[in-house]
Amino acid sequence: MRNLWIITGWEFWRHLKSRSFLLATFIPPLLFTVVAVVLFFFYRESRTPQPRVIGCVELDTTRYCEAIQKKLDNFTLPGTHTPAVVLIDIQADTTDDLQNLFQEVARLKHELDSLNDAYNRIKERRRYIFQRPDSPTKERLLRQTYEQLHLTREQRDLAEIEYNRQKAYVDSLWQMQILKTADSLLFTQVVEGYLILRGEELQDGRVEFHSIYPNQFLQIEPLKNVLQELLVEMRLRQEGITISQIHEWLKPVVINEILVEGARKREFSFLQSYLAPVIVVVFLFISIFTPGGFLFYSLISEKANRVLEILMTSANSFQIIAGKILGLGLLGVVQIVIWLILTKGLILAGWISVENLPFFTLHNLGFFVLYFVLGYFFFAAIYVGIGSVYSNEEEAHHINLMLRMLSISPILFSVPILMFPDAIFVRLFSFIPFLTPTFMVLRTPLGHPPEIDYIISVGVMLFSTLVALWVSGRLFRNSSLFDHRTPGWGEVWKLLWGKG
SS (H, E, C) 254-278: CCCCEEEECCEEEECCHHHHHHHHH
Contact assessment for residue 277 and residue 441, using Cβ atoms and an 8 Å cutoff:
yes
Q: In which band, very low, low, confident or very high, does the pLDDT at 271 lie, cut at 50, 70 and 90?
A: low
Structure confidence at residue 500 (pLDDT): 47
Strand pairing category for 264-267 and 52-58: unpaired
- What does the mean pLDDT of the chain come to? 76
Stretch 40-65: mean pLDDT: 71
Burial 187-216 (b: 16+ CB within 10 A, else e): eeeebbbbbbbbeeebeeeebebbbeeeee
Rounded Cα gap, residues 400 and 75, in angstroms: 55
Q: Residue 261: which of 148, 421, 151, 494 has the closest Cα?
A: 421
Distance of CA 490 to the CA centre of its chain: 47
Q: Taking residues 99-110, what's their average pLDDT?
A: 86
Give the pLDDT of residue 29.
Answer: 78
pLDDT confidence of 456, banded at 50, 70, 90? Answer: very high
Query: How many other C-beta atoms are found inside a 10 Å radius of the C-beta of residue 294?
Result: 24
- Residue 259 in this model has a pLDDT that exceeds 60: no
pLDDT tens across 403-449, in order? Answer: 777 767 767 777 677 677 778 888 888 898 888 888 888 887 665 78
Backbone angles phi, psi at 218, to 5 degrees: -90, -5
Cα–Cα distance, 295 to 329 (Å, whole number): 10
Cα(90)–Cα(57) distance, integer angstroms: 5
Q: For residue 256, which of 272, 269, 246 has the smallest C-alpha distance?
A: 269
Query: Whole-prediction pTM value?
Result: 0.56
Residues 6+ apart with CB under 8 A from 183: 210
Q: DSSP for 149-209, please give it.
A: HHHHHHHHHHHHHHHHHHHHHHHHHHHHHHHHHHHHHHHTTSSSEEEEE-HHHHHTT--EE
Distance CA 49, CA 45 (A): 9
Closest residue by Cα to residue 202 from 297, 70, 294, 64? 64
Strand arrangement of the beta sheet that strand 208-210 belongs to:
85-89, 52-58, 193-197, 208-210
Q: Find out whether 4 and 322 touch, Cβ atoms under 8 Å.
A: yes
Residue 243, classified by CB atoms within 10 Å of its CB into exposed (0-12), middle (13-18) or buried (19+), is exposed
- What pLDDT band is residue 208 in, cutting at 50, 70 and 90? confident
Report the pLDDT value the prediction gives residue 287, as an integer from 0 to 100. 82
pLDDT digits (tens, 9 = 90+) for 211-240: 887 656 556 677 777 887 777 777 777 777
State yes or no: pLDDT of 268 exceeds 80.
Answer: no
Residue 79 has φ and ψ, to the nearest 5°, of 75, 5
Please tell me the least confidently modeled range out of 113-122, 128-137, 217-226.
217-226
Report the interhelical angle of 362-389 vs 393-408 (nearest 10°): 150
Strands 208-210 and 85-89: unpaired
